[in-house]
C-alpha cells in the first residue's frame, strides 16, 4: 500500500474529501443525505480520472461503501442502512475533530526554533551491565513474534486493500472460503452463501470471492446454480518468493 501514492492534491484521504464536500454543499453531518453525497463524491472522482490522476484504492473503497449504503437504503426496511450511515457520520465527525486538534496543535509548534545539544562525548564503556532473568528473553520473543506463531508478515500486502475498516469482515470471509476449500478442493458456489445470516455477510462473502479470484487463489467455473469454486494450487509459493 505504501507504494501507491494515495495523496490526491489537496486531500488527505477519502474522509478529507467527504468532509470537504459536506462543508461545501452545506450538508448536515449528523444526517447525511447519502445520495447527494455519493453524487458529489463520484463527480470529484470522475474529474480526477479525467485529468489522469491515479485514484488510490481508499477513494474507490469509499465510493463502494457509499454505493452500498445507498443501495441498502432502497430496501423497505433499512435499519442496516441507517446504521451504516450513522457509522459514516461518526467517522466524519471524528476525523473533523482530528483535523481541528491538528490545527490547534500546529499553532504551538516551536520545535524548529529550539536547539538542543548532543550529549557530551565522554569515553565510557557502554557495555550493558544489568542482568535479567533468563525467562525474560522468551517473554520478549513471544511478545514480538506472537506466541511463536506469527511467521513472516503477510506477503505483498495482497489483501491490504480489503482488510481496512468497514469491510473488515471480508477478511474473515476470505479465511472462511479458504478453509472450506482446504477441506475439499472444490465447492459449490452457492454453498458458500448458505450459512450467511445477513446481507452484509453475503456481500462480504462475495467480495472475498472476488478478492481471492483476483489474487489467483481460486477459480470459479460453470454457470448459474452450477458454478463451482476451485482452489488454485501452488500459486502462493510463486507469489511469495
Partner 1 sequence: MEIKEYQAITEAILFASGEPVEISRLAEVLELDEDTVERLTDDLMNEINTRTGGIKLVRLDKSYQMCTRSEYADYVRRALDIRRNTPLTQAAMEVLAIVAYNQPVTRAFIDQVRGVDCAAVIQGLIAKSLIEEKGRLDLPGRPLLYGTTEDFLRCFGISSLSELPPLPQKDADSDMQETTLDEVIEDSMTQTKGEAPEGTPIMTGTE
Within positions 47 to 106, which residues make up the interface with partner 1, using CB under 8 A? 58, 62, 87, 90-91, 93-106
Least Cβ distance, residue 229 to partner 1 (angstroms): 15
Considering only residues 179 to 208 of the shown chain, the ones binding partner 1 according to CB under 8 A are: 179, 182
Query: Considering the rule CB under 8 A, would residue 230 count as an interface residue with partner 1?
Result: no
User: Which H or E element spans position 188?
Assistant: strand 186-188
Q: In terms of CB distance, is 160 or 222 closer to partner 1?
A: 160
Find the shortest distance in angstroms from Cβ 226 to partner 1.
25
- Cα→Cα distances 126→75, 129, 130, Å: 69, 9, 12
Least distance from C-beta 39 to partner 1, angstroms?
20
Q: Does 216 bind partner 1 (CB under 8 A)?
A: no
Residues 111 to 170: which contact partner 1 by CB under 8 A? Answer: 111-120, 122, 124, 126-155, 159-160, 163-165, 168-169
The site for partner 1, by CB under 8 A, has a size of 95
CA angle, residues 228, 234, 235, in degrees to nearest 5: 80
Closer CB to partner 1, 223 or 233, in the complex: 233
- Is residue 238 near partner 1 by the rule CB under 8 A? no
Q: How far apart are CA 73 and CA 33, in angstroms?
A: 11
- Distance of closest approach, residue 125 Cβ to partner 1, in angstroms: 9
> Which of 98, 97, 92 has its CA nearest to residue 69?
92
Residue 229's DSSP bridge partners are 187, 220
CB of 189 to partner 1, least distance (A): 19
DSSP 164: S
| DSSP state at residue 210 | H
Nearest to 67 by CA among 91, 84, 79: 84
**CB-side exposure of 49: number of CA atoms within 13 Å?**
8
**Residue 112 or 223: which CB sits closer to partner 1?**
112
Minimum gap (Å) between residue 137 Cβ and partner 1: 5
CA distances from 235 to 161, 163, 175, 212 (A): 20, 21, 16, 12
- Residues 171, 187, 196, 230: which binds partner 1 (CB under 8 A)? 171
> What are the grid coordinates assigned to 41, written together?
463524491
Binding part of the chain for partner 1, among 22-30, 43-51, 186-194, 219-227 by CB under 8 A, reads 22-30
9 binds partner 1 (CB under 8 A): no
Residue bearing cell 477478511: 171
Amino acid at each position: 500500500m505504501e507504494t501507491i501514492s494515495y495523496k490526491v492534491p489537496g486531500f488527505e484521504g477519502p474522509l478529507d474529501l467527504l468532509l470537504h464536500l459536506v462543508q461545501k454543499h452545506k450538508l448536515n453531518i449528523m444526517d447525511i443525505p447519502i445520495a447527494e453525497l455519493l453524487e458529489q463524491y463520484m463527480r470529484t472522482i470522475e474529474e480526477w480520472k479525467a485529468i489522469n490522476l491515479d485514484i488510490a484504492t481508499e477513494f474507490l473503497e469509499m465510493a463502494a461503501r457509499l454505493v452500498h449504503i445507498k443501495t441498502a437504503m432502497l430496501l423497505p426496511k433499512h435499519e442496516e442502512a441507517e446504521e451504516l450511515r450513522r457509522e459514516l457520520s461518526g467517522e466524519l465527525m471524528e476525523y473533523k475533530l482530528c483535523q481541528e486538534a491538528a490545527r490547534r496543535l500546529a499553532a504551538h509548534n516551536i520545535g524548529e526554533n529550539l536547539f538542543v545539544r548532543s550529549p557530551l562525548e565522554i569515553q565510557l564503556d557502554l557495555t550493558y551491565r544489568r542482568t535479567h532473568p533468563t525467562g525474560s528473553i522468551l517473554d520478549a520473543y513471544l511478545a514480538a513474534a506472537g506466541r511463536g506463531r506469527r511467521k513472516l508478515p503477510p506477503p505483498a500486502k495482497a489483501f491490504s486493500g480489503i482488510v481496512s475498516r468497514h469491510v473488515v469482515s471480508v477478511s474473515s470471509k476470505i479465511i472462511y472460503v479458504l478453509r472450506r476449500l482446504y477441506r475439499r478442493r472444490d465447492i459449490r458456489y452457492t454453498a458458500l452463501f448458505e450459512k450467511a445470516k445477513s446481507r452484509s455477510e453475503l456481500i462480504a462473502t462475495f467480495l472475498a470471492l472476488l478478492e481471492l479470484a483476483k489474487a489467483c487463489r481460486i477459480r470459479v467455473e460453470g454457470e448459474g446454480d452450477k458454478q463451482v469454486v476451485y482452489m488454485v494450487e501452488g500459486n502462493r509459493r510463486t507469489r511469495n518468493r
